[in-house]
């Protein structure tokens, strides 16, 4: 529903369905435009040129206006679910047909003009949707339908869609005087602009630390070769494949400190002020709407329901994790004391990854670099495909010579193994390049929707930044990379396997504090011998990962589980603090809050002079919602307990998961779906076990 479009401005949900409205001559359909596709056809991304996104955006917004006119022309006495509510969903469908692929191109295309055009299109569309959410006539049409006899008798997803729509209108200011609604509209538009600016400043930011031969000691030989400069220095940029290994392996404490300082000051010159503006505008918004805080506004339509439940969750988790965090730090301090011949009492933020790896190596004889040798990208992909295909009764078929936006991108079709029917498609864009989205995420390209012509086949693109193959070695993934791959692919199948009748509930269009749970659940397969043995093979010898190494990995699974989880609690509390009473015009800056909370919650003291919040992109898209990562993990681990009990490759349970959790999307409340899958009420027992706390 539009709460996933307006309220969550930067969650990228999308669809590529063009609804033909009798070829109305008022709307000029662009010809040969890669973003304007026929029903269930694919995009011709390779032929996308500057101007295409802009023209396609104009076309779909004009087409959306026609649908709106159709809705408003229906006499109130004749309103039905089909001619009012389904038509509203169709407006979102046609807009998403360009919004999503356009935004994907804005995040991944190599042509700057196309990237800028994709982001500009997103900005234009968000403003249109803001106007739509504040349209008095459309609101009156929904209210009129809600009073009809049919509306009173609605059940299931139809009833939920009407109730959610009415709640969304309340959250958009309806019930307030007209001038107040105009103010809300202006704030939404300003927030859309600020959000785009915040994200663009992060993605555009470039910085490189040049280090000496002494300072790069500890890094693998191939890592060094790839970064060696003509003058004998080594270039360490801020991308994850460059930054993370350096922080984990560089022997030079001073070099790690310098890199951490730069990394935690990305976009600082531009984004500190933008972040303050975002917080101000969010405060202004909820003040007009009558909420106590942005946190109250954001939790109202989520599983949490109110800020109190979030604070109780975070504080309870912080308390329960403290003892494990203390144990984790104690192990690192032992090694640091021995290594530095001192009585070490603190692990600095730039030392965390380095000493965690030493704990793995010295206490468990586990070298992450040795582990990487068994996770070559193509082998991992093949194994991941095997797991997902078997569990969910599907088949992935590679598309030869697809029309894609970069030569690295692969495309696949997804078929149901029993019916042989095409279910959907997906793209893999897995390696870093300049100006590409810098993290890992599943971007929807097409969302599911039942239409008169049949079901719209969903398409999702997985965008990651794993180490790219070089002349020196293939792409070798860390075990963390493999876990990320399984997680993000979980989002992908959530989108592709959907059977939701309305686009507004398709795939990941669920309560935002549940959206991570289905994919978090699927991370567990990278910790199981049965699944790892399918694809963990040495990239040179082909030897399956030895049981002895697997045993060490599994034994070491909860190394630093306390400190890592507390870091997530810190991020969640930071986000919630900034949105539950914090005033950017008060006597404390966002950096003051960062420093205070990092020192209180984590065991790694704040590094003076850093401003991590400037590049903490989740403060934009996940404002007052970052708590959802840990919140949803409780449900994820509870759902995984069924596979632990029945067998991790149990196809019957896999199909139940597909049908109950993945296919239904947002058509039912998350707690209802979880309870149906579990066959009981949910609890946190499995989550605590997964952390090594029970």
224-229 long-range contacts (CB < 8 A, ≥24 apart) are 225/470, 225/472, 226/470, 226/472
To the question of domain 268-276+289-366+561-618 being in CATH 1.10.1370.10, the answer is yes
Q: Which residue has the tokens 């509306």?
A: 151
Q: What angle do CA 561, 567, 569 make, to 5 degrees?
A: 100
pLDDT at 604: 98
Q: What is the pLDDT of residues 502-514, one digit of tens each?
A: 999 999 999 989 9
Which of 91, 110, 117 lies closest to 35 in space, CA to CA?
A: 117
* CATH of the structural domain 2-202, one choice from 1.10.3720.10, 1.20.1050.40, 3.40.50.2300, 1.25.40.340: 1.20.1050.40
CB neighbour list of residue 36: distance below 8 Å, 6 or more residues apart? 18, 29, 30, 56, 59, 97, 98
CA distances to 493, 530, 592 from 647, rounded to whole Å, are: 21, 10, 48
Orientation angle between helical segments 156-171 and 136-146, nearest 10 degrees: 140
Residue 31 CB-density burial (10 A; 0-12 exposed, 13-18 middle, 19+ buried): exposed
- Phi first, then psi, for residue 450 (nearest 5°) are -80, 130
Range 377-545+629-690 has CATH code 1.10.10.10: no
Give 239's strand partners.
Answer: none
Identical fold for domains 268-276+289-366+561-618 and 377-545+629-690, yes or no, is yes
Cα–chain-centroid distance for residue 684? Answer: 23
pLDDT digits (tens, 9 = 90+) for 539-598: 999 999 999 999 899 888 899 999 999 999 999 999 999 999 999 999 999 999 999 999
Ordered DSSP codes for 568-612: HHHHHHHHHHHHTT--TTSS--HHHHHHHHHHHHSSS---TT--G
Alpha-carbon separation of residue 677 from 389, 416, 488 (angstroms) = 20, 21, 22
- pLDDT recorded at residue 688: 85
Per-residue confidence (pLDDT) for residue 649, from 0 to 100: 97
Per-residue pLDDT at 25: 52
pLDDT of the residue at 203: 87
Selecting among 190, 197, 314, 488, the annotated active-site residue is 488
- Which among 67, 599, 88, 7 has a CA at the least distance from the CA of 294? 7
> What pLDDT is recorded for position 24?
52
Three-state SS for 21-85 is CCCCCCCCCCCCCCCCCCCCCCCCHHHCCCCHHHHHHHHHHHHHHHHHHHHHHCCHHHCCHHHHH
pLDDT at 31: 86
Helix (H, G, I), strand (E, B) or coil at 449: strand
Confidence at residue 119, expressed as pLDDT on a 0 to 100 scale: 92
Indicate the pTM of the whole model: 0.83
Between the alpha carbon of residue 303 and those of residues 300, 412, 581, 625, 668, the distances in Å are 8, 34, 21, 11, 12
Query: How far is residue 658 CA from its own chain's centroid?
Result: 20
The residue written with tokens 């963990």 in the block is 536
Domain ranges of the chain: 2-202, 206-263, 268-276+289-366+561-618, 377-545+629-690
3 state DSSP class of 442: strand
**Main-chain dihedrals φ then ψ at residue 122, nearest 5 degrees:** -60, -40
Chain segment 325-348, per-residue pLDDT in tens: 999 999 999 999 999 999 999 999
Give me the pLDDT at residue 16, please.
32
Q: Which residues of the chain have pLDDT under 70?
A: 1-26, 694
What was the pLDDT predicted at 367? Answer: 87
540 catalytic residue (yes or no): no
Q: Report how far residue 306's alpha carbon sits from residue 318's, in angstroms, rounded to the nearest whole number.
A: 19
- Predicted pLDDT of residue 650: 97
- Which pLDDT score, from 0 to 100, does residue 10 have? 33
Q: What's the pLDDT at 178?
A: 86
């Amino acid at each position: 529903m539009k709460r996933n479009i307006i309220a969550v401005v930067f969650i990228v949900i999308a669809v590529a369905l063009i609804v033909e409205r009798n070829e109305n001559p008022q709307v000029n359909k662009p010809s040969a435009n890669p973003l304007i596709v026929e029903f269930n056809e694919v995009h011709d991304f390779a032929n996308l040129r500057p101007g295409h996104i802009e023209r396609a955006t104009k076309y779909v917004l004009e087409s959306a206006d026609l649908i709106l006119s159709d809705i408003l022309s229906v006499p109130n006495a004749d309103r039905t679910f089909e001619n009012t509510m389904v038509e509203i969903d169709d407006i979102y469908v046609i807009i998403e047909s360009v919004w999503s692929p356009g935004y994907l191109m804005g995040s991944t295309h190599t042509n700057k003009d196309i990237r800028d055009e994709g982001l500009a299109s997103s900005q234009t569309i968000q403003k249109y949707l803001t106007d739509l959410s504040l349209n008095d006539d459309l609101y009156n049409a929904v209210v009129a339908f809600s009073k009809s006899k049919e509306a009173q008798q609605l059940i299931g997803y139809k009833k939920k869609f009407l109730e959610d729509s009415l709640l969304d209108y309340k959250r958009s200011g309806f019930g307030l005087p007209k001038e107040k609604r105009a103010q809300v509209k202006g704030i939404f538009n300003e927030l859309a602009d600020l959000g785009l600016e915040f994200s663009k400043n992060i993605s555009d930011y470039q910085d490189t630390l040049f280090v000496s031969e002494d300072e790069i000691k500890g890094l693998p030989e191939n890592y060094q070769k790839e970064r060696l400069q003509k003058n004998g220095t080594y270039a360490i940029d801020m991308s994850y494949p460059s930054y993370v290994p350096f922080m984990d392996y560089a022997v030079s404490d001073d070099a790690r400190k310098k890199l951490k300082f730069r990394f935690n000051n990305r976009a600082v010159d531009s984004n500190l002020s933008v972040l303050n503006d975002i917080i101000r505008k969010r405060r202004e918004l909820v003040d007009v709407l009558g909420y106590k805080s942005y946190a109250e506004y954001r939790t109202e339509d989520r599983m949490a329901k109110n800020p109190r439940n979030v604070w109780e969750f975070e504080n309870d988790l912080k308390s329960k994790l403290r003892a494990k965090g203390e144990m984790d730090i104690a192990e690192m301090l032992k090694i640091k004391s021995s290594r530095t011949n001192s009585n070490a009492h603190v692990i600095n933020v730039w030392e965390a990854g380095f000493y965690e790896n030493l704990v793995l190596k010295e206490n468990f004889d586990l070298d992450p670099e040795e582990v990487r040798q068994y996770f070559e990208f193509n082998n991992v992909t093949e194994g991941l495909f095997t797991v997902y295909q078997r569990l969910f009764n599907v088949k992935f078929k590679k598309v030869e010579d697809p029309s894609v936006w970069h030569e690295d991108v692969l495309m696949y079709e997804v078929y149901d193994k029993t019916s042989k029917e095409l279910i959907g498609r997906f793209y893999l864009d897995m390696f870093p390049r300049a100006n590409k989205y810098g993290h890992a995420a599943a971007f929807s390209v097409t969302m599911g929707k039942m239409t008169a012509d049949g079901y719209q086949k969903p398409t999702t693109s997985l965008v990651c930044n794993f180490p790219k193959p070089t002349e020196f070695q293939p792409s070798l993934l860390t075990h963390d990379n493999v876990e990320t791959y399984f997680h993000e692919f979980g989002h992908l199948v959530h989108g592709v396997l959907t059977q939701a009748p309305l686009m507004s509930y398709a795939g990941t269009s669920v309560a935002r504090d549940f959206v991570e749970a289905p994919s978090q659940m699927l991370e567990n397969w990278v910790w199981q011998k049965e699944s790892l043995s399918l694809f963990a093979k040495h990239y040179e010898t082909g030897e399956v990962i030895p049981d002895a190494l697997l045993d060490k990995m599994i034994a070491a699974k909860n190394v630093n589980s306390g400190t890592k989880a507390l870091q997530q609690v810190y991020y969640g509390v930071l986000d919630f603090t900034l949105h539950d009473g914090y005033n950017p015009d008060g006597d404390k800056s966002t950096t003051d809050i960062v420093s205070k909370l990092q020192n209180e919650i984590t065991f790694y003291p704040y590094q003076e002079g850093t401003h991590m919040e400037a590049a903490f992109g989740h403060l934009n898209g996940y404002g007052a919602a970052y708590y959802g990562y840990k919140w949803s993990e409780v449900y994820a681990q509870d759902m995984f307990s069924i596979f632990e009990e029945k067998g991790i490759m149990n196809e019957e349970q896999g199909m139940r998961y597909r049908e109950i959790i993945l296919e239904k999307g947002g058509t039912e409340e998350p707690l209802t779906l979880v309870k149906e899958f579990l066959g009981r009420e949910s609890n946190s027992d499995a989550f605590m076990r997964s952390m090594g706390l029970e």
